[in-house]
Structure 1
Amino acid sequence: MSYANATVSPAERAKAAASVIGIHALIGFGLVAGLAVTTAIVDKDDGVEGVLIPIDPPPPPPTPEPVPTDAVVPSTPPAAPMPPIEIPSNNPVQVTEPDFTLPPITTRVPVDPPVRAPVVAESPPPPPPAFTPAAPVPRNNMSSWITANDYSGRDLRRGNEGTARYRLVIGSDGRVDACEITSSTGHSSLDRSTCSLIERRARFNPATNNRGEEVVGTYTGVVTWQIPE
């Protein structure tokens, strides 16, 4: 809304119009510069007492509309995975894993040791003999021990005959140490003659033990007394 004097000349009106245009330009600059200009005052010397120009304040910024809670917000699709980057290698390193298997873990339950019977130590067996024991063996002719010429005149007259079995003890020197009649001829004279003649005439290779040593041994034999025809 504006007020003007009716007695103003056309030249002054043109001047006033130019002043109004300048005021409008100034107001526009104030809006751009962020200034709020509500009143413009023109010098009275120009023939204009005053101009009151109402300027509306700038409209407030628009209020964003509230988003309903049940509205579906479109989700951003996930980005595609980046392809693996292959790094070329002129000398690839091959790593061989050792073939190693862990042993199974077992839980051991304590067990009482078994009760064992006492072991009785046995004596070792004797070593095998280095030599085989041997009995005494006659060294001279057995037929020379007793002959028909050894009959006594008494036994011849009485016709004494018979078979005597004897047992001899041979010393380690091969001689007869003892004579024993184990089966009699039935005549004591013939039995005594048997042992007496053998002890005097018989010779032996003595017996030996398992170590090859000459030891005392025994020998058995038979003599038959018979009167020649």
Structure 2
Amino acid sequence: MGGSRVTSIIFVALIHVAVGYLLISGLAISAVKEIAERVTAVNVEEPEEPPEPEEEPPPPEEIVEPPPTVPPPPIPQLNQNNTVEREQDPDPQPRPEPDPEPRPTATATPEPAPPSLARGATTRNERRWAGRIQENYPSRALREEVEGTVGVSVVVTARGRATNCQVTASSGSTILDRAACRGMERYARFNPALDAAGNETSGRYNTRITYRLN
């Protein structure tokens, strides 16, 4: 009884060990399969490679045309007299013949210029102011009984007055010369000079004044 019981216990133990091994190995295999399924279920997407750039076509080659060939000028030929013979133009152009009659050309006639209205200064009431000049005989010339004729030149303003008197011909007496200029600038009256447009302007007037004792 003792030996068979031990054998039975050993056998039962072996059975438990085998069952346990089978259980453990089966669980391990299922776990490995599950892990493998998970690993295989993951899809690894690889990044797409960028497309390669298209190569640009090479630029067209420029065709360089050769320069036009110019024929050399003809060499002049010498005749027996060692003179250059000129080639005659095969088709000379005829010279234009002059017109037999000259054609009249229209010319613009300039308009005539308006007549000029310019004139010199003229005296106004000359006898009156000339008499007043002679009446103002210098007292010293009267005492010394000096006589003479004085030539004077005055500038006539646009208002008809005499100014800037100058002696052009002396009487020989400075007293009479000065008296003549003073009298002209004080008493003389004029019609003023006119320019080409008829406007009053300044001018010059020449005259002679004579001093005589009665």
TM-score norm. by structure 1 comes to 0.43
Q: Which has the higher helix share?
A: 2
The structure number with the bigger radius of gyration is 1
